[in-house]
Structure 1
C-alpha cells in the first residue's frame, strides 16, 4: 500500500469520527491506568460496569490501598483474572506512591516498570491520558492492519513499528482509536461489514464480504 492511499484512509476515518476516544470510562490518568489493567482479556463494557462501582469509592492509589486486597476484589470480581489483577493493581498503587508521588508517570520506561503494565497498556496511557502519538496494537488493530495491508506484520510489535513509520503525522495521535473502533465495529473478525466501510475501496483484503 502506498502512502497516498494511507493518507486517504485516515482522512476518511477522521471525517467519519473527528474526535475518537477510548470506550473505557475514566476521569484521570490514574483511573485510565486502572481501567486498562482491568481490560486485559475483558470487555470495555465489563470494565466500565466494575469501575462505575469502584471509582466513586476509590480512585487514587491511597484509596485503593485502603480498600485492601479483599475490598478491591469485591469490586472487580466480575472481571476475568480478577485475582491477579487485584494483586498487580495494589502493587502498582504502592509503586506510584513510593516512586512517583502518587502520580501516573508520563514515561514509557516508568510505566512499563509498574506491575501489570506492559507495552500495550503503556501505549494506551501515553496516548489517551497524555496525548502522545503512540499506538497500542490489540487484536483489532492487528487484524485491520494486516487485512487492509495498511501495515502488515507477523507480530504485534512488527505491526506497531510499521504503523509508527507509515501513519501520516497529522493523524498519529488519534490513529490508535480510529483503528480499534474500526476493527471492533466494522472490520470485524468473523464477518467484516465491508458494505458499510468508508475505506472499502482502499482496502486490499481479498475476501471482502457483501450483504
Structure 2
C-alpha cells in the first residue's frame, strides 16, 4: 500500500522498522510479478517421507521402542536412510544403547522389606554371638543382549529415565542356587 501511494523504499523501511534490503526485495517482486505471494518451489516432491509414513513409523516405535530400523525399512519397502531421517529429524528420537540394571518387581521389593523386618525382630531377642548367619539365593542366569546392537529409540527427555533399564524374561531361564553360613565367634564360612 505504501509503495502504491508513491512512498520511497527508504521511507517505507524507516516507517515499518525493517531493513532497507528487505523492503527493496519486496518492492522489486511487486514490480516484476504484481504480487508478493510465495512461488511454487521447483524440485522433486516427497514420495517416501509423507505424513502417512511418519505416522506408521511413530506407531511402531510407540508399541516397541526397541524395533530395528532395518526391519522397519524392509517391511515398509523404503530405504533405511529414509527411516533414519524420519526417526531423527521428524520424530526427534535418538538411538540409545541398553543399560544394565537390576529388575525388581513390586512383589520382590515387598518380600525384601518383610525379610529385613523379620531379621531385625530376631536380633532384638538373641545375642549376635549365638546366631549362625546363613543365606541362600536362587540366581537366575540370563544372558544379556548385545548392548552394542540392541538399541532403544527414545526422545532426549527420556534418555535418563528408568525406561532405559530393560529386563529380559526368558521362557526357560537357567538358575543357580548359592548357600552360605557364618557364625560370629569362629568366623568360618561355609559355601555349598
Larger relative helix fraction: 1
What TM-score comes out, normalization by structure 1 length? 0.22
What TM-score comes out, normalization by structure 2 length? 0.24
Larger relative strand fraction: 2
Higher Rg: 2
